[in-house]
Amino acid sequence: MDGELFPRDRTEVAPGAVLLPDWLDEQRQRELVAACREWARPPAGMRTVRTPGGGVMSAKVVGLGWQWRPYYFSKTADDGSPVKPFPPELGELARRATEDVFGRVPDDGLEYDMALLNFYDAKAHMGMHQDKDELSKAPVISLSLGDTCVFRFGNTESRSRPYTDLELHSGDLFVFGGPSRLAFHGVPRILPGTAPAWLGLTGRLNLTLRATGLTPPTGSGARGPGRPLRADSPTEESQ
Ligand SMILES: O=C(O)CCC(=O)C(=O)O
Ligand SMILES: [Fe+2]
C-alpha cells in the first residue's frame, strides 16, 4: 500500500520465520515485475498446474531453474522447451535476504537454484501446505509484489491451528528456515486493488527462491533424484 502512516516492524512470526516489511525498494520492485513479465512469457512461460487428482491450482506458476511436474522435477517445461535458467541475480538476492534476516548466510545447502513464481488474480488462493520437496533445508525466501495478501503461517504438525495470519504487502520479504522450514503455510486470500499504483500491476506476484539440493541433470527432461513428490506439496493439492 502507498504511504503507510506508521512503518511496519520486523516480525518473527515463529522461530526462524521472519517478516521484513518493505525490503525491496520501489526501483527493485519495478525491475522485478518487469523481469517476472519476461519470465512469464512463452516458451516455458506461465502455466496452469493440473494435479493427477483432477485439481487445478488457482495461482498460475512459472519455474526458473527447475520446473515441477507431477512426481518429478524437470528441466523441460510443459511446452517441451527448456526451463528458463535460474538468474544469478536471484541467487544474490537470496544471499542478501538470509543475511539481512539471520545476520549471516547459513552454511548448509545454500545453492539457491530455483525460483517459483506464482501469480494470483483477485480470486486466487493457495491451500495450506509444506514446502518439503527440496532436498536442501536452506530457508525459503519469499518476495511479494503487487496486491497485498493474507498469508497464513502455521505449525509443522498439521494444516490446522495454531497459525498466524499476517499481511504480505508489495516489497515485503518473508523468510522461513530452521525450525520453521517445514511449517504449513498458505494464502487464504488476496486483497484486490491494494497494489501500489506506481507498480502498474493488477494482482499479486510471489517469488520464492529455493535451494532444491538436486543434482543438475545431464539432459533435458531428466528426472530428479527419483523421489516422488508428496500429495500435500503446494502444487499437488486442489486449489
Ligand atoms: O504466495 C505466497 O506467498 C506463498 C507461495 C507458496 O507457499 C509456495 O509457492 O509454495
Ligand atoms: Fe509454499
- Residue 133 has what pLDDT? 87
pLDDT band, residue 3 (cuts 50/70/90): low
Flag whether 219 is in a domain.
no
Q: Which three cell numbers stand for residue 107?
A: 552454511
Find the ligand nearest to 61 CA.
Answer: 1
CA of 129 to the centre of ligand 2 (A): 6
Flag whether 1 is in a domain.
no
Flag whether 201 is in a domain.
yes
Q: Decide if the complex's ipTM is over 0.95.
A: yes
CA of 186 to the centre of ligand 1 (A): 6
> CATH number for the domain including 26?
2.60.120.590
Flag whether 216 is in a domain.
no
Looking at the 3D structure of the chain, how many domains does it have?
Answer: 1
pLDDT band, residue 68 (cuts 50/70/90): confident
Q: How far is CA 47 from CA 44, 67, 68, 201, 215, in A?
A: 8, 11, 11, 19, 25
CA distance 200 to 193: 11
Phi and psi based region of residue 146 (left: phi greater than 0; alpha: psi -120 to 50; beta: remaining) = left
Mutate to test the pocket of ligand 1, among 114, 126, 130 (most ligand atoms within 8 A of CB): 126
- pTM here? 0.89
Establish whether residue 183 lines the binding site of ligand 1, counting it when its CB lies within 6 angstroms of any ligand atom.
Answer: no
Atom from ligand 1 closest to the CA of residue 208: 9
With b meaning 16 or more CB within 10 Å and e meaning fewer, what string describes 123-138? ebbbbbbbbbbbebbb
Flag whether 230 is in a domain.
no
Flag whether 150 is in a domain.
yes
For residue 90, what are the domain limits? Answer: 12-210
Residues tagged in the binding site annotation for Fe cation:
129, 131, 185
Q: Which three cell numbers stand for residue 129?
A: 501446505
Tell me the per-residue pLDDT of 94-131, one tens digit each, with 9 for 90 and over: 999 999 999 977 665 468 999 999 999 999 999 999 99
Flag whether 226 is in a domain.
no
Flag whether 229 is in a domain.
no
